């Protein structure tokens, strides 16, 4: 029995490894919309939250953090826009404690560009321009994450996982469905230190693409010298994120400071990040938070460190600074982040998110 399991595991590993060698099957940037991040509280800290996340957003960042959700239901929502409002990013998260040691969650993510002009039929067979033939379509990416987390008998240790469904659609021309699994863990050591690990796409995530091109569209591809896309499989390789947070009180008036360093490890070759090599690349990011009790937080962070070339072909190091704040009023959490997604061209984004913690509704009692 053991030999059969070993052979099966080796066979699966071999298939995944072979897929990983083919750039068309395992492109370097696959399902990248799930790497943007969510929640203004995390973005204000440059997304350095893998070790410290403990809210409904944990389903995305590290499902092990869901064990810190101590309310009957927690709801989180965010809407943001990128590229001067062209792209819309929406998120809804739910988390619910099951008992004193386990919790479950659900996350929905949509990243889309709507009302894209389709000009493939703009010019008819006679060479005339007909603007009435311009239509519009939407290119959208969707992700559905189902999460579960549990505290282990080891003090301070929690684990969690996601089963995720991914749907990507480009008008009526192409669509894909994908499935994958994430796994995470958190460990709190003493009063001041937390450590976390998140493995996204731990089994690799498979997206099956189907293209639906009519004869006129195929003719456009041929005349413009573009290769016709074919139905096939796209593989998203694993990404490992390690994080450690230290949190200390400043005096005895409820003021604290917390700092977290995360490092994302990718295994698909060189990326334009701070530490890069052929087998893997490491992208570090640092977050800092000052707070007063659980009422007000001031956040800042640095990430997306990379080198770019100027027009004179000289390299320079750039980074993405982030700042933000949080305000908590009873069960309401309002967070804001001011982030720079592309320092080279000066694109900035304002992100606002809201979280609500709800107690279990009291049963109605009938009056005598």
Q: Give one DSSP letter per residue of 307-347, joined into a string.
A: EEE-TTS-EEEEEEEEEEEEEEETTEEEEEEEEEEETTTTE
> pLDDT tens-digit profile of 59-80?
999 999 999 998 899 999 999 8
Name all domains of the chain by residue range, CATH numbers in brackets. 2-358 (2.40.160.60)
What per-residue confidence (pLDDT) applies to 341? 57
> pLDDT tens-digit profile of 183-204?
999 999 888 999 999 999 998 8
d(CA 18, CA 37): 30
> pLDDT tens-digit profile of 119-148?
766 776 677 787 777 778 889 999 999 999
pTM of the model: 0.83
CA angle 108, 114, 119 (to 5 degrees): 145
Three-state secondary structure call for residue 131: helix
Alpha helices by DSSP H, listed for the chain, are 2-20, 40-43, 58-61, 215-223
DSSP for residue 9: H
Q: How many CB atoms lie within 10 A of CB 214?
A: 11
DSSP string of 159-178? EEEEEEEEEEEETTTEEEEE
Average pLDDT, integer, range 207-218: 79
d(CA 269, CA 278): 5
DSSP β-bridge partners for residue 151: 158
**Residue in 328, 191, 186 with CA at minimum distance from that of residue 249:** 191
Q: Are 105 and 73 in contact (CB under 8 A)?
A: no
> For 202, phi and psi rounded to 5 degrees?
-60, -30
Virtual torsion, Cα 93, 54, 322, 84, nearest 10 deg: 0
């Amino acid at each position: 029995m053991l030999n059969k399991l070993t052979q099966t595991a080796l066979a699966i590993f071999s298939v995944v490894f072979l897929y990983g060698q083919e750039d068309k099957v395992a492109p370097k940037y696959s399902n990248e919309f799930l790497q943007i991040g969510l929640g203004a509280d995390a973005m204000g800290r440059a997304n350095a939250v893998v070790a410290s996340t403990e809210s409904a957003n944990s389903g995305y960042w590290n499902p092990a953090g869901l064990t810190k959700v101590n309310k009957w239901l927690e709801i989180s929502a965010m809407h943001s826009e990128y590229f001067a409002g062209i792209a819309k990013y929406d998120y809804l998260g739910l988390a619910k404690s099951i008992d004193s040691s386990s919790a479950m969650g659900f996350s929905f993510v949509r990243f889309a560009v709507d009302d894209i002009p389709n000009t493939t039929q703009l010019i008819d067979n006679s060479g005339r321009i007909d603007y009435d033939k311009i239509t519009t379509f939407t290119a959208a990416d969707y992700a559905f994450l189902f999460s579960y987390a549990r505290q282990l008998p080891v003090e301070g240790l929690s684990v969690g996982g996601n089963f995720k469904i991914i749907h990507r659609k480009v008008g009526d021309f192409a669509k894909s469905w994908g499935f994958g699994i994430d796994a995470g863990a958190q460990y709190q050591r003493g009063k001041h230190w937390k450590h976390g690990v998140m493995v996204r796409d731990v089994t690799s995530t498979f997206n099956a693409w189907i293209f639906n091109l009519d004869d006129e569209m195929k003719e456009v591809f041929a005349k413009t010298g573009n290769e016709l896309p074919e139905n096939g499989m796209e593989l998203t390789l694993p990404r490992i994120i390690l994080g450690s947070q230290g949190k200390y009180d400043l005096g005895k008036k409820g003021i604290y400071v917390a700092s977290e360093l995360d490092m994302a490890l990718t295994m698909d070759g060189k990326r334009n990040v701070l530490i890069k090599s052929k087998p893997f690349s490491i992208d570090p990011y640092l977050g800092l938070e000052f707070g007063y009790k659980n009422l007000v937080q001031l956040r800042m962070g640095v990430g997306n460190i990379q080198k770019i070339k100027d027009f004179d072909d000289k390299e320079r190091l750039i980074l993405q600074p982030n700042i933000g704040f949080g305000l908590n009023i009873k069960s309401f959490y309002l967070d804001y982040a001011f982030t720079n997604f592309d320092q080279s061209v000066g694109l900035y984004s304002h992100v606002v998110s809201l979280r609500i913690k709800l107690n279990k509704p009291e049963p109605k009692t009938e009056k005598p």
